[in-house]
């Protein structure tokens, strides 16, 4: 087995706060949230359940993605194709056959947005409804559509581990590079708002009727979001051919499952603590090496307390700066890990920590509070990103800055 470092050479993102990385960065540093009234998804909850919705129709997304009208594609697939192409452009990649290249995409609802359209007609009249809307339903279809659009042929995989899906795509992609199976891999996730997810989370009574308040004493639930984010990972050998493209390095990753409950984290945060601990061990770092944590921070009673307890257990009195950026984008479920990884790349590139919006009062059970204002001109070397999913599937990624001197 060959071991090598894993570098990020490109990122792409489309979310409620911007249609590309530059727009997302501007929103983050001006503390502008994308959470608001639902206007595109046809739901009875459009006025009482705010969400991080991308204000572009499927027709507009198709035009941006450059996908011909005759090819069936879900909103999930369109968002993913747009973000993945952005990542390739930044990495200056135009020949997908130059080295062994793979695609790993995470999602939870897949193309359910299209099958919901089908069943809306079909249930009224069983002679109605377009069957081509149903073929986009499964999670793997959006991955195949992205792979076809990018001409990726060597390796294609879909990961669906709830809200840790795209974080696990980064973990898995890094391991494929380190093991020498691939030379380059496009990793990330994509998720569209659907009635299934909106009504499902609403039935769990964990959606806030107002903007979410991660880590706040009076938090009352999460806001759903939609979007896609992808990163180009390259082995050391490939990245060093043009080192100027390197943005940062994937130095650590860890995955742990506490299997406590179908939808809740363990009260003691066992899985969260273990995934962070494993990530530090993979990166060969100590807790005090971490300069910032992009927390999972959903704004629910259970998650924020469980994650906060795990952070305090691991970092003890030396807790780094911490914030949840879901107060900007909403919780993008399967795309959350990659969305926040791209935000962490922006954090390292610009040496700025983005704040936890809507925070007013520290949780009584915790001894730390999240960052509430933009922290600029920082000295950030290692940042941690947490993504925790239903079923207790917890994943932590560590990204690190680099200098050209370190590459030799």
Per-residue pLDDT band for 405 (boundaries 50, 70, 90) equals: low
Q: 138 or 229: whose pLDDT is higher?
A: 229
3-state SS string for 248-273: EEEEEEEEEECCCCCCCCCCCCHHHH
> Which residues are designated catalytic?
163, 296, 331
Domain at 6-245: CATH architecture = 3-Layer(aba) Sandwich (3.40)
Query: Span 97-105, mean pLDDT?
Result: 96
Per-residue pLDDT band for 269 (boundaries 50, 70, 90) equals: confident
- What was the pLDDT predicted at 130? 76
Per-residue pLDDT band for 110 (boundaries 50, 70, 90) equals: very high
Using a pLDDT cut of 90, give the percent of the chain over it: 85
- What DSSP character marks residue 41? S
Look at residue 3 and tell me whether its pLDDT is greater than 70: no
- What was the pLDDT predicted at 264? 76
Sign of CA dihedral 108, 111, 113, 117: negative
Sign of CA dihedral 338, 339, 344, 346: positive
Look at residue 136 and tell me whether its pLDDT is greater than 80: yes
Q: What are phi and psi of 252, to 5 degrees?
A: -145, 150
Per-residue pLDDT of 14-67, as tens digits, reads 999 999 999 999 999 999 999 999 999 999 999 999 999 999 999 999 999 999
Domains of the chain, residue spans: 6-245, 251-402
- Residue for token pair 């992808």: 230
Rounded Cα gap, residues 144 and 139, in angstroms: 9
- What was the pLDDT predicted at 403? 66
- What was the pLDDT predicted at 316? 95
Residues whose CB falls within 8 Å of the CB of residue 220, separated by 6 or more in sequence, listed in order:
208, 209, 210, 213, 299
Query: Span 203-215, mean pLDDT?
Result: 97
Could you check whether 6-245 and 251-402 share the same CATH topology?
A: yes
136 contacts 190 by C-beta, under 8 angstroms:
no
- What was the pLDDT predicted at 1? 39
Residues whose CB falls within 8 Å of the CB of residue 75, separated by 6 or more in sequence, listed in order:
58, 61, 111, 113, 114, 192, 226
Give the CATH number of domain 251-402.
3.40.47.10
What are the respective helix, strand and coil percentages of the chain, to the nearest 5?
A: 40, 20, 40
Per-residue pLDDT of 370-401, as tens digits, reads 999 999 999 999 999 999 988 789 999 999 99
Look at residue 99 and tell me whether its pLDDT is greater than 90: yes
Rounded Cα gap, residues 53 and 226, in angstroms: 6
Count H helices, E strands: the chain?
Answer: 13, 10
Q: Taking the complete model, does pTM exceed 0.75, yes or no?
A: yes
Per-residue pLDDT of 309-360, as tens digits, reads 999 999 998 999 999 999 999 999 999 999 999 999 999 999 999 999 999 9
Q: Which helix (H) or strand (E) holds 11?
A: strand 6-14
- What was the pLDDT predicted at 266? 81
Rounded Cα gap, residues 338 and 246, in angstroms: 18
Look at residue 408 and tell me whether its pLDDT is greater than 90: no
**Is 408 exposed, middle or buried, given 0-12, 13-18 or 19+ CB atoms closer than 10 A?**
exposed
């Amino acid at each position: 087995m060959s071991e090598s470092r894993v570098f990020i050479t490109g990122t792409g993102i489309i979310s409620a706060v911007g249609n590309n990385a530059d727009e997302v960065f501007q929103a983050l540093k001006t503390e502008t949230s994308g959470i608001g009234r639902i206007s595109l998804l046809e739901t009875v909850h459009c006025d009482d359940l705010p969400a991080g919705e991308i204000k572009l129709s499927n027709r507009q997304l198709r035009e941006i993605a450059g996908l011909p009208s005759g090819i069936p594609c879900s909103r999930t697939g369109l968002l993913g194709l747009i973000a993945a192409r952005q990542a390739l452009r930044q990495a200056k990649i135009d020949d997908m056959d130059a080295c062994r290249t793979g695609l790993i995409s995470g999602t939870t609802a897949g193309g359910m947005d299209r099958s919901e359209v089908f069943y809306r007609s079909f249930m009224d009249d069983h002679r109605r409804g377009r069957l081509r809307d149903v073929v986009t339903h499964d999670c793997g279809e959006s991955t195949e559509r992205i792979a076809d659009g990018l001409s990726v042929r060597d390796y294609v995989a879909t990961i669906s581990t709830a809200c840790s899906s795209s974080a696990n795509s980064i973990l898995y992609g890094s391991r494929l590079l380190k093991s020498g199976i691939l030379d380059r891999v496009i990793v990330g996730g994509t998720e569209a708002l659907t009635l299934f997810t909106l009504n499902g989370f609403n039935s769990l009574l964990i959606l806030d009727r107002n903007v979410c308040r991660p880590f706040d004493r009076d938090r009352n639930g999460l806001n759903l979001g939609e979007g896609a984010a992808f990163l180009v990972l390259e082995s050391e050998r490939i990245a060093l051919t043009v080192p100027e493209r390197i943005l940062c390095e994937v130095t650590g990753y860890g995955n742990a499952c506490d299997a406590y409950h179908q939808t809740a984290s363990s009260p003691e945060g066992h899985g969260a603590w273990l995934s962070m601990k494993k990530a530090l061990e993979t990166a060969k770092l100590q807790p005090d090496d971490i300069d910032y944590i992009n927390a999972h921070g959903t704004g629910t009673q259970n998650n924020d307390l469980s994650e906060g307890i795990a952070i305090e257990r691991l970092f003890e009195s030396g807790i780094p700066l911490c914030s949840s950026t879901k107060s900007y984008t909403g919780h993008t479920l399967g795309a959350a890990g990659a969305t926040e990884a791209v935000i962490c790349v922006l954090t390292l590139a610009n040496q700025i920590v983005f704040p936890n919006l809507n925070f007013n009062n520290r949780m009584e059970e915790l001894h730390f509070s999240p960052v509430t204002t933009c922290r600029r001109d920082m000295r950030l070397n290692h940042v941690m990103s947490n993504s925790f999913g239903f079923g207790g599937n917890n994943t932590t990624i560590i990204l690190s800055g680099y200098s050209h001197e370190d590459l030799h």
